Amino acid sequence: MTGDAQAFWLRAPGAGEIRPVELPSPGPGEVLVRTRYSGVSRGTETLVFTGRVPADQYATMRAPFQEGDFPAPVKYGYLSVGVVEQGPERLRGRTVFCLHPHQTAYVVPADAVVVVPDQVPAARAVLAGTVETAVNALWDAAPLVGDRVTVVGGGMVGCCVAALLARFPGVRVQLVDADPARAAVAAALGVDFALPADAAGDRDLVVHASATADGLQRALDLLRPERSVLELSWYGDRPVTLALGGAFHSKRLGIRSSQVGTVSPRRADRGYADRLALALELLANPAFDALLTGPSRFAELPDVLDRLASGRLPALCHLIAYAEE
């Protein structure tokens, strides 16, 4: 055995705790990673924390190194950055990203980690999993030069999509959110901002990521005829009601999902490591720092998730620090 670690577990819906973990020694082709930072994905992780994963999605929602089962007890999370302490020589001492739950150290296969480029700070690298989701969404959406694009929902995924779209030639991007405070984030990302009532219409593409029925309805309202909303939201066990009796039919509008765990058929040739390496390369842009809040200490995670779930702690991606920097 290589020593002890600690991990965050959801003991019961709404109740988290820190538990000890006994780590095995890494075998051939494995690495021991000492965690520096992890990120709390507010949308998905608060749904898990509150026990709102639908029973028919338990298998689909499993994280790569999850332990336990929904609704609880379960060890969940997927945005971890650390340093390889043991493993193949090419990885020893390197900062890496891994889709691992919140844990102070862990042993995983070497091919489960991706090296963080030197130009990307370790704290910012926790966004790699979400930026990969945004990359996959844009492979699905396939925006064209000069498109007028709106992203409805200024959460973690929506902001990552907007940040990438801001770099497309000639694409005019507007981020729409009901929270006026998201205007500052939009400015940092280099895109326009509007409240839902003030959003520009006649859009070539609308990406929806607010996880609300009102947001999806507004996304449809903003489209040009013969266009579709790309739906990135995950609603958990909440029903969604839309008014489809008007322009939805006369304008021949559509709604198309972009599933986080399935690669766009447009780029099925790109493996997981390739996609994640691309996401990490894109994170060299310091504008992404606007999406990070915190940090909080690892020991505070049970309280942090409780405050995120209740809305007492506003955040996009909340950073968890594992050692004094």
Write the secondary structure of 166-218 as one string of H (helix), E (strand) and C (coil): CCCCCCEEEEECCCCCHHHHHHHHCCEEECHHHCCCCECEEEECCCCHHHHHH
Helix (H) or strand (E) holding 105: strand 105-109
d(C-alpha 273, C-alpha 277), whole Å: 6
Question: Which residue, among 44, 82, 86, has the nearest Cα to 66 in the 3D structure?
Answer: 44
In one-letter notation, the amino acid at residue 132 is E
Instruction: Examine the pLDDT at 252 and tell me if it is beyond 90.
Output: yes
At 5 the pLDDT is 97
Q: Tens of pLDDT along 259-289?
A: 666 666 677 777 777 888 999 999 999 999 9
Q: Which CATH number fits domain 3-119+284-321: 3.40.50.300, 3.90.180.10, 3.40.50.620, 3.30.70.1060?
A: 3.90.180.10
Task: State the fold for domain 133-266.
Answer: Rossmann fold (3.40.50)
Strand-pair category, 95-98 with 113-115: antiparallel
- Strands of the 254-257 sheet, one edge to the other: 192-194, 172-176, 148-152, 205-208, 228-231, 254-257
Please check whether the two domains, 3-119+284-321 and 133-266, share a CATH topology: no
Residue 122 and residue 36 in contact, taking contact as beta carbons nearer than 8 Å: yes
Question: Which residue, among 252, 186, 180, has the nearest Cα to 223 in the 3D structure?
Answer: 252
Give me the count of residues in the chain.
325
Question: Which residue, among 197, 189, 155, has the nearest Cα to 173 in the 3D structure?
Answer: 189
Q: Tens of pLDDT along 130-161?
A: 999 999 999 999 999 999 999 999 999 999 99
Residue 18 and residue 299 in contact, taking contact as beta carbons nearer than 8 Å: yes
Q: Tens of pLDDT along 213-245?
A: 999 999 999 999 999 999 999 887 788 999 898
Facing residues of 128 across strands?
none
| Six token digits for residue 99 | 């889709």
Domain ranges of the chain: 3-119+284-321, 133-266
